[in-house]
Structure 1
Amino acid sequence: MKKTVYIRFSLILFIVGFMLAVQYNTVQKPEERDTRDVWTIRQELAKETELHSELLSEVRVLEQTIGKYENMVNESPKTALNETVMQLKQDIGLTDFSGPGLTITVEPSLESIAVGQAVEGITPDLLVRLVNEINRFKAKAIEVDGKRMIHSSAIRDVNGRTTVNNLAIKTAPFTIKIGTSTYDDAKKMYNQLKASSIGDDFYIDNLKLSIGEPVNDINIEAFDQTINKQFLFEIPGGE
């Protein structure tokens, strides 16, 4: 009889102990909950929807290009090849750009001029941030102080001077030209740059960004230096 009572008592203590352990673990490691409000979630959903739409547009353009190329190959392989080469040159910046876009002027801030403070050149980090911000809005072509930027362009500090394509950027003021695919893209970039906080970063360095109105025609010269082809090799014909 006593043995049965001990067994029941031990079982009850085990159950109580187990429940206390579970409760303690729950308090110490609570389940993570999404505390974002509905508006924040709606904004993120809108961004994902916009990205999805852009990807579909790009896929559609690529499908049209493939179909056009296949038709041209059947009719005239030489013409198809020449047009492909020309398109590639345009994409990487080896041809002049003429189309819609806008111009940004980097100039000394009014405060630095008022107090007679010496104007320092733009730092490589700040210029990289601006170029990344521009590319985030899908620029078609970029020219910094007359220097065309391509995929391999480098922004560096050389002997205390900021350089693009190994050419020094002059002290402000200087201009940055941006080419876009359409005029609507130029207006969208204008509004986004106006709303961006990148201007505050320039203000800290006593510089000011003046973003020009979008235009239908802006001219940007082609990249005029030799492209590094260190890792590209020509395959002999027939292989």
Structure 2
Amino acid sequence: MKKKVISRFTMILFVIGLMTAIQFNTVNEPDSRDTRDVWEIRQELAREKQLHSELLSEIGTLDETLSKYEKAANDSPEQVLKETVEVLRQDAGLTEITGPGLEVHIEPSQEAIVTGQNIEQISPALLIRFVNEINRFKGIELSIDGKRVINTSPIRDINGRTAINGKPIGTPPFKMKIAAGTLDNAEKLSNHLKASPILDNFYIDNLSVNVMEPQEEITVEGYDGELELEYLEAAEEE
């Protein structure tokens, strides 16, 4: 009888010890370990600092606009309002813009021309990837085959043709025009695109990408469609 009691007591102590050990390991070991190396952490930190800088710049712009409204409260608030509307139209891509930038020419590849292969339109998927590659740089204004690309511009297949803003683009060759804000940014973008591995994907489709040298002035067309303001309504005048 005494042996049974000791055995049961020993078993209970063993179970309690096992549960304590499991709980201790659970508390002291994190759910997931950060396996990033120092370079990846530095890149993440650089992205966060860039975002912080952009937010500070935007706050500064809004403060400046507010200051203009306060100064013009008794003089000409209508003029300040007009200037603000014009700035917003520019930011939305509704106006033509001229500044430092570059052109990118999408053309049939020389191999396709020599061998007499049919040149088809650039696919929406490839065009979207290339636009995303360009948009890695901030402050970019872009038009493709004369069609302005804004934040809401759809790039998709319509009846077998690649279309931007619902309008089909031409079969290559055609131009892409990019305003980069400054000549320095244009040169950085040019070097980035020339070295990008995405260019190899164009050769597969019998196309080539010629990134032209940056220029002091590039004119990018304004968006000529109607903005889809699904969640906005015009305010009624009092």
With the length of structure 1 as denominator, give the TM-score of the two structures.
Answer: 0.81
Alignment of 1:63-82 (within 5 A): 63-82=63-82
Mean Cα deviation higher: 103-112 or 185-194? 185-194
SS of residue paired to 1:39: helix
Aligned partners of 2:69 and 2:77 also within 8 Å? no
Q: Which amino acid aligns with 1:54?
A: E
Between Structure 1 and Structure 2, how many residues are aligned? 234
Q: What aligned pairs does 1:49-64 form with structure 2 within 5 A after superposition?
A: 49-64=49-64
Partner of 1:10: 8
Confirm or deny that 1:179 pairs with 2:149. Answer: no
Residue 178 of structure 1 and its aligned partner are, at CA, apart by 1.0
Give matches, 1:16-35, under 5 Å.
16-19=14-17, 32-35=32-35
Query: Shift of residue 173 of structure 1?
Result: 1.4
Q: What TM-score results when the alignment is normalised by the length of structure 2?
A: 0.81
Query: What CA distance in whole angstroms lies between the structure 1 residues aligned with 2:103 and 2:214?
Result: 8
Structure 1: segments with no counterpart, 5+ residues: none
Question: Percent sequence identity over matched residues?
Answer: 47
- Read off the aligned partner of 1:56 and give its amino acid letter: L
| Partner secondary structure for residue 136 of structure 1 | coil
Secondary structure at 2:213's aligned position in 1?
A: coil
Q: Which whole-Å CA distance do the structure 2 matches of 1:181 and 1:33 have between them?
A: 41
Q: Relative to 1, partners in 2 of residues 1:24 and 1:109: Cα closer, same or farther, differing over 3 Å?
A: farther
Give RMSD over aligned pairs.
3.0
Amino acid at match of 2:125: D
Corresponding position of 1:118: 118
Mapped contact 1:100–1:182 kept (Cα < 8 A): yes
* Local SS of the residue matching 2:95: coil
The within-5 A match list for 1:90-239 is: 90-228=90-228, 232-238=232-238
5+ residue gaps, structure 2, are: none
Equivalent position of 2:48 in the other structure: 48
> Which letter does structure 2 place at the counterpart of 1:106?
I
